[in-house]
Amino acid sequence: MISLETTKRFRKRIPEGRRAEVAAVLRRVQEGFGRPHVHSGLGLRKLGPNLFECRTERGWRLVFIAAKGLLTFDFAGNHDGVQFYLRGR
């Protein structure tokens, strides 16, 4: 199974009321990433080289960096927040 990490920035962006929702998405991505037939149900989208996003049930976006055997979740937010994050990279 692929390892999963979250950055301090990612953890700070998750409000208390969304933690269970985000944790469920993280588990699904960890279990399904790298399995193309499962990707469609995860709402994954490639944003750049090794950079992806997935969506939570209520429209939040989780941005992560994929390396061999490791997914590092670095940002969480709405569409505008993700656009701002991408411009700053």
Over the stretch 65-76, which tens digit does the pLDDT of each residue have? 999 999 999 999
Task: Count how many domains the chain has.
Answer: 1
Per-residue pLDDT, averaged over 22-48, amounts to 84
Is residue 85 one of the residues assigned to a domain?
A: no
pLDDT(37) > 90: no
**Greater pLDDT, 82 or 35:** 82
Half-sphere exposure of 1 (CA within 13 A, CB side): 9
Model confidence at 28, pLDDT cuts 50, 70, 90, reads very high
- Residue 60 located in a structural domain: yes
Report the CATH number that the domain containing residue 11 is assigned in CATH: 3.30.2310.20
Residue 39 or 58, more confident? 58
Q: Rounded to an integer, what is the distance from CA 72 to the centroid of its chain?
A: 8
Residue 1 has pLDDT above 70, yes or no: yes
Looking at residues 19-35, what average pLDDT do you find? 91
